[in-house]
Chain A
Amino acid sequence: MKSITRRSNAPVFWGLFGAGGMLAALFGPVLVFITGIAVPLGIILPADAMSWPRMQAFAQHWAGKGLLFLVVALFMWHAMHRILHSLHDLGVRAGTAMQFACYGVALLVTILATWALMALGF
């Protein structure tokens, strides 16, 4: 029996796609509602709910930092994987160049999010 010497990278990206998709399905709607509608309009939550001291403290706490990182990074990995394969369906072949472009954007966003979260300190 021939042993597998070259492993596919697909499970890694599919795993990130699945994790991000699940996170977006479970928590995406409520997060969009809170940050984009409820707080700006001051409905249900107070208009100062995302005030600077509160959000800074949230982002400096390890748990808040972790949650913010997971949401931004996994949402992006989910979206870019899906965009890569939808473009393939539209006739843009999901070859090496497109993989580098799509996953590269996700990696860039991950790095930028890490950078901002590190700059916020602990």
Chain B
Amino acid sequence: MNTSDPRRPYVRPMAGWWRRNPFFVEYMVHEATALFVAAYALVLLVGLRRLAQGEAAWNGWLEALRSPVSLVFHGVLLAAFAYHCWTWFRIMPRTMPPLIFGGKRVAPGVITACGVAATTACSLVVLILAWGATR
């Protein structure tokens, strides 16, 4: 980007590059789920801090979680985490080493489906454990 270059070579502008192609828009959207993962980590960090500060502080945090703003926010977080989960396993066939099974490479769709199935199983196990421990 040397503007003093007398030849004035053409430099393709990069601003807004990702908005020019639906593939890149999706890329930026799934990368943006990181903002929501970070937000949830911070929500939990505040919770840990409140828990360490005593019962009154903890109950204040629980009360804040019951507010309509928090409920809507967690609805958004849930959508972002679900999208992260889906895109994570959709990309996984390309980020992991080739998986050979019975002499043939496992198809990307199978890996994605297994990932989503694993999340479903983990979700059910956690829900059942939480239900069993709190009823």
Do A and B actually bind? Answer: yes
Per DSSP, chain B at the interface is: helix
A101 interface residue (CB < 8 Å to B) = no
B134 — nearest CB in chain A belongs to which residue? A49
- Check B65 for interface membership: any CB of A closer than 8 A: yes
Q: In the complex, A39→B38 CA distance in Å?
A: 21
Chain A interface extent, by class = 35 or more
* Mask of B48-79 contacts with A, CB within 8 angstroms, 1/0: 11011001001100100110001101110110
- A36 interfacial contact with B, CB 8 Å: yes
* Count, A-B residue pairs, CB within 8 A: 160
Knowing A24-B37, A27-B122, A79-B35, say if A91 contacts B14 (CB, 8 Å): yes
Indicate whether A75 sits within 8 Å of B37 (C-beta atoms), given known contacts A25-B119, A26-B122, A37-B78: yes
Q: Assess whether A4 is interfacial by the CB under 8 Å rule.
A: no
Interface residues of A in 57-100 (CB under 8 A from B): 59, 68, 71-72, 75-76, 78-80, 82-83, 85-86, 89-91
